[in-house]
Amino acid sequence: MSDRFLVSGGARLSGEVAVGGAKNSVLKLMAAALLAEGTTVLTNAPEIADVPLMADVLRGLGAVVDMDGETVTITAPAEPKFHADFAAVRQFRASVCVLGPLMARCHRAVVALPGGDAIGSRPLDMHQAGLRALGATSSIEHGCVVAEADTLVGAPIALEFPSVGATENILMAAVLAEGQTTIDNAAREPEIVDLCVMLQQMGAQIDGAGTSTLTVVGVDRLHPTTHRVIGDRIVGATWGIAAAMTRGDVTVRGVKPEHLQLVLNKLGDTGAVVDNFDDGFRVRHDRRPTAVNVSTLPFPGFPTDLQPMAIGLAAISDGMSVITENVFEARFRFVEEMVRLGADARTDGHHAVIRGIDRLSSAPVWCSDIRAGAGLVLAGLVADGVTEVHDVEHIDRGYPHFVEILRSLGGEIERVRD
């Protein structure tokens, strides 16, 4: 039996919320700590379920990991183990990011194919192709990625798609390779920049962070560091979209608005008043949102992680919206749950067409992944009656203190432990 949320509709969200560190950054930074023998300290780490899961993966590789609130301390051994087994990595996708550091330190890695959210296939082809370009052999054997190299040697690498995970793994393998590596069509997400900043603090030579071309000159060794995790733009945007959906007034602190500029512009197009600050933004809405179209794309495009929230917003907007998913093909599973809540929505391939209605109707719904879960809760806030959201452990993996924050903003939500 899993926990569920009881969400009462009708509340207008208002107030201020502080956003912690980014889930999509901290897990990769924890893996990067393996690159240097000694103790690395991460601050502003989010208190989410995936952090202790990653800690278990690192412990299985010989690291010592301590967690104290928003501080994670990782002591990497002189000789890490190179086998990340299925028991450790099966629960979440980000565990595969140990592949690059293990190849850099050990020149071999056996990493079980990871589990994670049900949002579509996320093959490791580009990860393996990048390692092969650096001189490694790589194959899938008995449910594991198996890679090995006598020596990693820098090389030009062009990605077919700006994959965040492939960029991260290739980058972390290249920082200790011989010579120069260029990664063309690299991911440009703020979380990639955050990883580059930490690696540079550790002594890596990297140019081009935040652009589509990364240039890495390998060094002999890296040293531990202390690094502050960037704010979680996806969590911050979730609260901003919630403000627009509930005709509320929410100020978000702890995230850079330039990391969300397209999202904030879209909220403005719905009729919201959006104010940007150095460390956050404010979203105010006092009427029914106007429908807008959204297409998900890699950064600086509209994040695929916010697609469920965009559909929730469209479901109660004035007019028709077309939501196009260009990253993960199975993310539209969320639409089936929205239809349970009365949404007038249909999907066709990569597109969802939503005709907004005045108000959704409560129903039992099920989370299939982190962001779908958050989107269903937001939908419950604008539905009549009490919506039961099941399998909420997904939400715990990406949103710290979710219930407490929603209550602080005036939302009516209760966690029920079955």
Q: Would you say 318 is a known binding-site residue?
A: no
The answer to the question of whether 282 is labelled as a binding residue is: no
pLDDT digits (tens, 9 = 90+) for 82-107: 998 767 676 667 788 999 999 999 99
Task: Supply the pLDDT for residue 99.
Answer: 95
Average pLDDT over residues 326-355: 89
- Give the pLDDT confidence score for residue 91 in this predicted structure: 67
Q: Distance (Å, rounded) from C-alpha 214 to C-alpha 212? A: 7
Mean per-residue pLDDT over the chain, rounded: 94
- CB distance 138 to 147 below 8 Å: yes
**327 known ligand binder:** yes
Tens-digit pLDDT profile for residues 188-234: 999 999 999 999 999 999 999 999 999 999 999 999 999 999 999 99
pLDDT mean over 38-49:
97
Q: Is the distance from CB of 188 to CB of 162 less than 8 angstroms?
A: yes
Q: What are the pLDDT digits (tens) for 245-273?
A: 999 999 999 999 999 999 999 999 999 99
Angle at 262 between CA 216 and CA 291, to 5 degrees: 150
Cα 311 to Cα 236, 237, 305, 324, 352: the distances in Å are 17, 14, 12, 10, 8
Cα–Cα distance for residue pair 286/355, rounded to 1 Å: 20
pLDDT for residue 51: 95
Q: Which of 126, 133, 132 is nearest to 148 (CA)?
A: 132
Binding site annotation covers 24? yes
Report residue 42: phi and psi, to 5°: -110, 130
Q: How confident is the model at residue 121 (pLDDT cuts 50, 70, 90)?
A: very low
pLDDT at 172 over 80: yes
Distance CA 370, CA 288 (A): 27
Type of residue at 352 = A
pTM, two decimals, is 0.94
Is pLDDT of 141 > 70? yes
Question: Hey, which residues are catalytic here?
Answer: 117
| pLDDT level of residue 330 (50, 70, 90 thresholds) | low
Angle between helices 164-174 and 23-32 (to 10 degrees): 20
